[in-house]
Chains A and B, each alone.
Chain A
Amino acid sequence: MNNENKLKFSDDALALSQRMVNRYPEGKQKSALIPLLHIAQAEFGGWLSSDAMDYVASLLKITSIEVYEVASFYSMFNLKPVGKCVIEVCHTGPCWLLGSDDIVKYIEKKLSIKVGDTTADGMFTLKTVECLASCGTAPMMQIGEKYHENLTLTKVDDIIHECKATVVEHVTHWTKKEIK
C-alpha cells in the first residue's frame, strides 16, 4: 500500500461506496470492487492511476494486485489518461453492416486523430468498442452514459459540436453528478 497516497473520495462518493458495499454479505465486500472502480474513475479524472487503484484496495481492505487484475480485465476501465469526452464507436458486425467504418473514418478525419488517440487539446479520445446492444439502431456510438443511435455524419457533427460547447470536466460512464 502506498502511504503517500493523497487521493481521496468526496463525501458523496464515500457514501455511495458504502451503499454499494452494503449490497453484499459481510466479508464479501470485494464484490463491490467493480462499482467502486466506476466511482473512482469518475472521481479521479476519467481514468484509474495506480494510486487510484491502491486507494480502492484500501477502501475494500483487499490487496492492490486484486484491484489491478480486475481493472485491467474490463474494457470500461481506462488505465491511462483520456480526453474529457471519450467517443466509443461500435464496430461489430451489425453496426458495420450499416456503416460504422465510415463513422470511424469521418471522426478520425474531423478530429485529426486515429482510433486510440486523444486530441492535442485533451478534449476527445476516440475508441472503437464491441457490440453495445444497439444493433437495431445502428450505427451507434456512446459518449459517457449516453447512447447516440442511428448515426449520420450530420448527427456526428452536431454531437461533437455540443461536446465542445458544454463539456467542462470528464464525461465518464459514471459521473460526479450521478454520485450525488
Chain B
Amino acid sequence: MGRKLLTENINVPGIQSLDVYRHHGGYEGLKKALGMSPDAIVEEVKKSGLRGRGGAGFPTGMKWSFLAKPDGVPRHLVCNADESEPGTFKDRYMMEHIPHLLIEGMAIGSFALGANTSYIYIRGELLYVYHILQKAIDEAYAAGLLGKNIMGSGFDFDLHLHSGAGAYICGEETALIESLEGNRGNPRIKPPFPAIQGLWQRPTVVNNVESIMAVVPILKMGGDEYAKIGIGKSTGTKLISACGHINKPGVYEIELGLPVEEFIYSDEYCGGIRNGKALKAVVAGGSSVPVLPKELILKLANGEPRLMSYESLSDGGFVTGTMLGSGGFIVMDEDTSVVKNLYTFTRFYHHESCGQCSPCREGTGWMEKILHKILDGHGTLEDVDLLWDIQSKIEGKTICPLGEAAAWPVASAIRHFRSEFEEYVKNPSSIKKDNHYYRVNNISSEVA
C-alpha cells in the first residue's frame, strides 16, 4: 500500500469543514510556513522535486523562483482549477472532498511568493464545487486564516474564487489569465512569461490544484523527505483519475514508480478489465497524450515493466512511449474501436480550439471530418495518409500546446493501430460505431 499524502484523510467524515480539517492537522503546514522566510519555502519546494501536476510536469519550485519581484508591483498566485482534460477528474474530486487543503496550499504559496491577493480559477460547470470552496473560504476568513494578518503573522492575504464559463483552452495558463481579465480565452504569445507579465501585466504564477495541494505535505514533512518518495526525478505521489473499461474507476493516489500492470490489475487500484475482457489500449495521461496498445503500455520496448512515472511513461519517445500528463488514465478493452474513440477526441479539440492559429483552427476540423468520413464507410487509404499529414502540420506550429494535444492522439492512433483504419476503409461493414457490449442497461431495442 503506497503512502497517501493528499488523500490520507479524504474519507474522514466532515473533513470538508474547517473544524474537522484542523483536528486532523489542517493548517499546521501554513503555521509552519508563516514562521519561515518566503525564500526558505521556495527552497523546500525545490528540494521536494515536485513537478507541475496539471500535465506539463515543469518543476514547481523552479517556476516559483522565476517570479519577478519589481518594487511596488503586486504579484499573484492563480490556481488553475479549470480541469477539462478528457479522462481527468482528480482536481474536482479533491476540491469537493477536502477544500481546505487547497486553501491552505494557496496561503502557503502566496506567502512564499509575496502575493497578497490570489485567485482560484474554477471551471464554470463545476458550480457545485464552487459553492463548497466558497463556504470553506468563508470559514477560513472567519477563523483568521484568510484576510488581514493571517494567524497573527502580519501577512495580509485575500483569496477569491473566479468562475469560468466552459472553455478547455482556459486550462492553458495564459488563456486562463486572459479569461480572468474578462476576455476570450486566447493564449498569449510567450515571452513575456506570466512570471514577468501575467495577470493585469503583473508577475504571476499559475499552478494546478494538485500542485498547490502537494505543497502542504511538502512543508509539513520537508522537501527532502518528500523527495525520498517516488522514483528518480518523479518524486512524491500523484493522483491518477482512472476511467473506461475497468472494474474500479476512480481517483487513486499512487507513489510514482508503481508498475502500470499493477495499477491496472491490482484490486487496490483499477481491479482489472470489466466483464472479463482483455485490455486493448490505454491513454495514460489525459486525451492529449499518445495512445498505447497493451504490449507497449505494460512493458517498455526492451521488455522491462513500464512504471507510472514521468520518465518511464515517456520512455521510447513517441515511437513506443507516451506521457504521464495530467494522470487521466483511460482504459479501453478489446471490443473498443480506437478509431471511434479518436473521433470523439478530435471532435473535442475542434470544439475547443480558440481559433487564433490557422493550423489548429482549420486542421482540427479537417481531422474531425476525415474521421467522420471513415466511420461513415466512405474513407480511402489516402484519407489515412492525409490525417497523418494534417496532424504533422499542426504540431509545433501554434501559439499554445492545444495544437500538439490535438495532433498527438491522431499520430499515435495511426502509428499503433493503422490496421484498424485500413480495415474500416477496405471493409466498411467491419466498422464498430458503438460499443454495443456496453449499451446502457443492455436494452438496445429502446435505443435503436
Q: Tell me if B441 and A153 are in contact (CB < 8 A).
A: yes
Sample 18 A-B pairs with CB under 8 A, ordered by A number.
A38-B124, A66-B182, A74-B124, A74-B165, A75-B165, A75-B166, A75-B167, A76-B125, A93-B287, A94-B244, A98-B440, A131-B87, A131-B168, A133-B83, A135-B243, A152-B441, A173-B125, A178-B131
Q: Tell me if A97 and B332 are in contact (CB < 8 A).
A: yes
Instruction: Tell me the nearest residue of chain A to B82, going by C-beta.
Output: A133
By a CB distance below 8 angstroms, the chain B residues around A66 are 182
Instruction: Tell me the nearest residue of chain B to A151, going by C-beta.
Output: B440
By a CB distance below 8 angstroms, the chain B residues around A97 are 243-245, 330, 332, 336, 341, 435, 438
Min Cβ gap B91→A in Å is 7
Q: Tell me if A130 and B88 are in contact (CB < 8 A).
A: no
A77 to B160, alpha carbons, bound, how many Å?
A: 22
* Interface segment out of the listed B257-265, B301-309, B344-352, B423-431: B344-352
Which parts of B145-195 form the interface with A (CB within 8 Å)? Answer: 160, 162-168, 179-185
Q: Tell me if A137 and B200 are in contact (CB < 8 A).
A: no
Contact with A along B432-447 (1 / 0, CB 8 A): 0111001111011011
> When the two chains form the complex, which single residue of B86, B127, B434, B441 contacts A131, counting CB atoms closer than 8 Å?
B86
Which parts of B391-448 form the interface with A (CB within 8 Å)? Answer: 433-435, 438-441, 443-444, 446-448
Q: Tell me if A93 and B166 are in contact (CB < 8 A).
A: no
Q: Tell me if B439 and A99 are in contact (CB < 8 A).
A: yes
B57 in the interface (beta carbon within 8 A): no
With A93-B344, A130-B351, A136-B249 already in contact, the answer to whether A33 and B182 are too (CB < 8 A) is yes
A75 to B167, alpha carbons, bound, how many Å?
A: 7
B241 in the interface (beta carbon within 8 A): yes
> When the two chains form the complex, which single residue of A28, A37, A92 contacts B344, counting CB atoms closer than 8 Å?
A92
Q: Tell me if A38 and B165 are in contact (CB < 8 A).
A: yes
A85 in the interface (beta carbon within 8 A): no
Chain A contact residue count (CB 8 A cutoff) = 57
A70 to B123, alpha carbons, bound, how many Å?
A: 15
Q: Tell me if B446 and A106 are in contact (CB < 8 A).
A: yes
With A70-B182, A92-B287, A173-B127 already in contact, the answer to whether A133 and B89 are too (CB < 8 A) is yes
Q: Tell me if A102 and B200 are in contact (CB < 8 A).
A: no
* Interface segment out of the listed A3-11, A114-122, A138-146: A138-146
With A91-B344, A133-B92, A136-B243 already in contact, the answer to whether A99 and B165 are too (CB < 8 A) is no
Contact with A along B115-129 (1 / 0, CB 8 A): 001010001111110
With A38-B124, A136-B251, A173-B124 already in contact, the answer to whether A131 and B182 are too (CB < 8 A) is no
Q: Tell me if B352 and A130 are in contact (CB < 8 A).
A: yes
The total number of A-B Cβ pairs within 8 Å is 183
Min Cβ gap A176→B in Å is 14
The 7 closest A-B pairs by CB, nearest first: A75-B166, A74-B165, A33-B182, A30-B182, A135-B243, A76-B166, A136-B249
Q: Tell me if A70 and B184 are in contact (CB < 8 A).
A: yes
B247 in the interface (beta carbon within 8 A): no
Which residues of chain A have a CB within 8 Å of any CB of chain B?
Answer: 23, 25, 28, 30-35, 37-38, 60, 62, 66, 69-70, 73-77, 91-94, 96-99, 101-103, 105-106, 109, 129-139, 142, 145-147, 151-154, 173-174, 178
A134 to B351, alpha carbons, bound, how many Å?
A: 19
Q: Beyond the given A93-B87, A106-B440, A133-B91, could you list 8 further A-B residue pairs with CB under 8 A, ordered by the A residue number?
A: A31-B181, A38-B124, A70-B182, A73-B167, A73-B354, A131-B84, A133-B92, A135-B86
A62 to B86, alpha carbons, bound, how many Å?
A: 35
> When the two chains form the complex, which single residue of B126, B165, B447 contacts A102, counting CB atoms closer than 8 Å?
B447
B340 in the interface (beta carbon within 8 A): yes
B250 in the interface (beta carbon within 8 A): yes
A94 to B433, alpha carbons, bound, how many Å?
A: 15
> When the two chains form the complex, which single residue of A70, A105, A173 contacts B183, counting CB atoms closer than 8 Å?
A70
By a CB distance below 8 angstroms, the chain B residues around A25 are 74, 117, 200
By a CB distance below 8 angstroms, the chain A residues around B167 are 73-75
